[in-house]
Amino acid sequence: MTPFLLFLLMFLFLFMSFSMTSSTQLMLSLDEEAHALLQSGWWSGYPDYVPPDHCEWLGITCNGYGSIMEISMPPKFQLRDKFVKFNFSAFPNLVRLQLVGHGLIDNIPSDQISTLHKLTYLDLSFNEMKGSIPEGIWSLKKLETLNLGRNKIVSSIPCSLVHLTNLVSLSLDSNLISGSIPVEIGYLKSLEQLNLSDNKLRGSIPSNIGLLTNLKSLSLGSNQISGSIPLELRNLSKLEHLFLGDNNITGEIPSFISHLTNLISLDLSSNMIYGCLFSELNQLTQLEYLNLSSNQLSGEVPLEIGTLSRLKVLDLSGNLFHGKIPSQLGSMSNLRLLNLSHNELTGTIPNQIQNNFLSYSPPHEFFRNRNLLTDKMSVPSTDASSLSSSTSTKSKTEIITLNMEIFIPVISLFGIVLLGYLVFKIWEANINRDSRKEKHGDLFNIWNYDGRIAFKDVIKATESFDNKYCIGSGKFGSVYKARLPNGRIVALKKLHSFEAEEPEFVKSFKNEVKLLSKIRHRNIVKLHGFCYHKPCMFLVYEYVKRGSLFNLLRDDSRAMQLDWSKRISIIEGIAHALSYIHHDCSPPIVHRDITTSNILLDQEMKASVSDFGIARLLNPNSSNQTVLAGTFGYVAPEYAYTTTLSEKGDVYSFGVVALETIMGRHPTEIISLILSRTLLSSNTPIIMIKDVLDSRLSPPNGNHILASNIVLVATIALACLCSEPKSRPTMMNVCRWLLLPRTPLLRHPFHSISLQQLFNQEIYKIDDYKR
**DSSP annotation of 628:** S
pLDDT of residue 771: 38
**Each residue's pLDDT tens digit, 5-54:** 666 666 666 656 555 554 445 454 667 888 888 787 777 766 666 677 87
**Each residue's pLDDT tens digit, 707-764:** 989 999 999 999 999 988 989 999 999 998 988 776 655 567 788 888 988 998 878 8
Tell me: is residue 493 an annotated ligand-binding position. yes
3-state secondary structure 569-586: HHHHHHHHHHHHHHHCCC
Percent of the chain with pLDDT over 90: 38
pLDDT of residue 98: 87
Which CA distances in Å does 321 have to 51, 217, 255?
67, 29, 18
Listed residue (664, 766, 654) closest to 721, CA to CA: 654
pLDDT of residue 169: 94
452-542 and 547-760 share one fold: no
Domain boundaries, the chain: 452-542, 547-760
Separation of alpha carbons 753 and 771, rounded Å: 21
472: left (phi over 0), alpha (psi -120 to 50) or beta: left
Confidence check: pLDDT of 441 > 50: no
The CATH superfamily of 452-542 is Phosphorylase Kinase; domain 1 (3.30.200.20)
What order do you get walking across the sheet with 343-348 strand by strand? 226-227, 248-252, 272-276, 296-300, 320-323, 343-348, 369-373
The CA R_g of the chain, rounded to the nearest whole Å, is 33
Listed residue (269, 364, 279) closest to 318, CA to CA: 269
Check 106, 593, 611, 650 and give the catalytic one.
593
pLDDT of residue 428: 56
Lowest average pLDDT, out of 368-382, 663-677, 691-705, goes to 368-382
- The count of C-alpha atoms lying within 13 angstroms of the C-alpha of 417, restricted to the half-sphere facing its C-beta, is 6
**Each residue's pLDDT tens digit, 244-303:** 999 999 999 999 999 999 999 999 999 999 999 988 899 999 999 999 999 999 999 999
Confidence check: pLDDT of 367 > 60: no
Which residues in 432-462 are b (16+ Cβ under 10 Å) and which e? Answer: eeeeeeeebebbbebeebeeebbbebbeebb
User: Would you call 267 a catalytic residue per the annotation?
Assistant: no
Q: List beta partners, residue 180.
A: 202
pLDDT of residue 24: 46
Q: Are 287 and 332 in contact (CB under 8 A)?
A: no
Q: Where are the beta strands (DSSP E) in 187-325?
A: 193-195, 217-219, 226-227, 241-243, 248-252, 265-267, 272-276, 289-291, 296-300, 313-315, 320-323
Which CA distances in Å does 574 have to 91, 362, 537, 567, 577?
49, 17, 28, 11, 5
The predicted model gives 473-489 an average pLDDT of 80
For residue 587, cis peptide bond before it (omega within 30 degrees of 0): yes
Listed residue (304, 347, 354) closest to 322, CA to CA: 347
Helix (H, G, I), strand (E, B) or coil at 274: strand
Angle among Cα 282, 284, 290 to the nearest 5 degrees reads 95
Residue 216 pLDDT level (bands cut at 50, 70, 90): very high
The predicted model gives 684-690 an average pLDDT of 88
The predicted model gives 58-84 an average pLDDT of 81
pLDDT of residue 108: 74
| CB-CB neighbours of 407 under 10 Å | 10
CATH 1.10.510.10 assigned to domain 547-760? The reply is yes
Separation of alpha carbons 657 and 633, rounded Å: 10
- Whole-prediction pTM value? 0.72
